[in-house]
């Protein structure tokens, strides 16, 4: 019976946490224009851009937001889902959003 040693482990790539602070500030639209994502909870087009096809909130590595904007966006998406503005289990397509 072979015992496992820590040196036997395959080195893993660290989880992607998102862009560095300077990059996030440059890429984050909400930070650039000083918009609070929570105040945009009624805007289904903005909310659906930060939701995956399965209805989950995109992580910071995908959304490219700052930490603060990511937390506020998560809160806004949860509020929009609870109010029925965006679907709970899927992403709202742009075509159906333009029809209304």
- pLDDT, one tens digit per residue, over 51-68 is 999 999 999 999 999 999
More confident call, 50 vs 15 = 50
pTM assigned to the model: 0.78
Which among 64, 80, 75, 77 has a CA at the least distance from the CA of 30? 64
Domain ranges of the chain: 18-95
The number of CA neighbours under 13 Å toward the Cβ of 51 is: 27
Q: Which of 8-17, 64-73, 74-83 has the lowest mean pLDDT?
A: 8-17
Q: CATH code for 18-95?
A: 4.10.640.10
């Amino acid at each position: 019976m072979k015992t496992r040693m820590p040196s036997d482990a395959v080195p893993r790539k660290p989880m992607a946490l998102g862009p560095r602070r300077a990059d996030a500030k440059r890429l984050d639209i909400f930070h650039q224009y000083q918009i609070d994502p929570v105040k945009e909870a009624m805007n289904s087009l903005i909310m659906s851009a930060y939701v995956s096809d399965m209805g989950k909130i995109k992580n910071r590595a995908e959304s490219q937001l700052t930490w603060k904007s990511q937390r506020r966006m998560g809160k806004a998406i949860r509020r929009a889902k609870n109010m029925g503005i965006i679907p709970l289990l899927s992403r709202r397509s742009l075509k159906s959003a333009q029809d209304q």
